[in-house]
Amino acid sequence: MAANAEELELKDRIRLIESMIAEGRRTTESYGWTFVFWGVAYYIAIVWTAIYHWPWAWLVTMAGAWVLCWAIIVSKKKNKPERRPGTTIGRGIFAIWISMGISLSLLLPALGFSDRFNQHIFVAIVAAMLGVANGASGMMIRWKAQVAAAIVWWAASVAACFGSDDQCTAVFLVAIFFCQIVFGVYAMLWEARVRKQQEALHA
Amino acid sequence: MPELPELNPVIHGKLRLALLSLLVGVDEAEFTWLRQKTGSTDGNLGAQLLKLEEAGYVAVDKKFVQRKPQSLYRMTEAGRTALSEYIQALKKLLGGAIGD
């Protein structure tokens, strides 16, 4: 009987270790909104380019979106009562997205200035880069929904190499809708559910 | 008959074990974050962290951020080794029962 109680207590310790390690690694930061935010920014740039045919529309929209996104993240962090500790996975994901952003910010204007830019190349590059970032992040945190978003981006990247300009635009618009807007809203709902669960746990 | 391992008494305390398990997954953590995750009181948490600090399992960095005191705790190499040994000892003690 005593041996059984001791065994139960030891098992309880194992469960405690597992749950606390998972708790420490769990992300409580909300980044689902950034997908929706960037999806809307892409749509603004596409519409701006289509209506006014201004060659700088993408550059200006993306630069503005960078500044606004950074300002929102900084203000959100300032309003938080406690800072979430950094993890290796968190740093890895941040590094992937920042590197992707820098790559696109350098490569796309360079293609434009060298006059080697066209719509198909643009969509193929952007979609492939977003596929890499989503795929790597999704695999790191084992989130199937984000890996699915990566697969859609990769498919869009390949599809952009074929067909007419209009078909290429349609592929891009559809991929943005599913991978930025729909996935972003899904991520926000998922984050809200996790937050509720955590609040209930600590109530 | 093989000798059964002894469990490290510094780590075996429930709150101290929870703290080390939390710290093993992060670079460093604020006192308030540890309090939120463990649901412990300030006094108890401070006392248990001090025990872990005295054992050399955690290190603390105290500073002021925007005029507010901030205590950042991180796990030391000794803490990592001790937790790993503790888990090995637990598994050994439980033997085949661990998967139940």
Q: Is A123 part of a structural domain of the chain?
A: yes
The shortest C-alpha distance from B71 to chain A (Å) reads 12
Query: Domain containing B71: what range?
Result: 9-91
Distance from CA of A185 to the nearest CA of B (A): 27
Q: Is the ipTM of this complex over 0.90?
A: no
Q: CB of A170 within 8 Å of any CB in chain B?
A: no
Instruction: Please list every residue in chain B whose beta carbon sits closer than 8 Å to the beta carbon of residue A202.
Output: 36, 39
Q: Is residue A114, in this structure, part of any structural domain at all?
A: yes
The CATH number of the domain holding residue B45 is 1.10.10.10
Q: Counting Cβ atoms within 10 Å, is residue B71 exposed (0-12), middle (13-18) or buried (19+)? A: middle
What domain range is A117 assigned to?
88-202
Residue A37 covered by a domain: no
Is residue B38 one of the residues assigned to a domain? yes
Is B12 in contact with A21 (Cβ distance < 8 A)?
no
Q: What is the pLDDT of residues A45-74, one digit of tens each?
A: 999 988 988 878 888 999 999 999 999 988
Closest CA to A152 of A142, A163, A138: A138
How is residue A28 annotated by DSSP? -
Residue B5, helix vs strand vs coil? coil
Is residue B97 domain-resident?
no
A5 CB within 8 Å of a chain B CB: no
The count of structural domains within chain A is 1
pLDDT of residue B38 exceeding 50: yes
Could you tell me if residue A30 is inside a domain?
Answer: no
Q: Does A196 touch chain B (CB under 8 A)?
A: no
> Which percentage of chain B shows pLDDT scores above 90?
58
Residue A29 located in a structural domain: no
Domain for residue A6, yes or no?
Answer: no
Tell if the CB–CB gap between A83 and B30 is shorter than 8 Å.
yes
- B98 part of a folded domain: no
Q: Which of residues 60-99 of A touch B (CB under 8 A)?
A: 81-88
B99 domain-assigned? no
- Strands B58-65 and B68-75 come out as antiparallel
Q: Are the beta carbons of A127 and A175 closer than 8 angstroms?
A: yes
The number of folded domains in chain B is 1
Could B21 and A24 be called an inter-chain contact, meaning their C-beta atoms sit closer than 8 Å?
A: yes
The 10s digit of each residue's pLDDT in A65-123 is 999 999 998 888 777 656 677 777 888 888 999 999 999 989 988 988 888 888 999 99
Residue among B25, B36, B94 whose CB faces A25 most closely: B25
**What is the pTM assigned to this prediction?**
0.73
Amino acid at A70: W
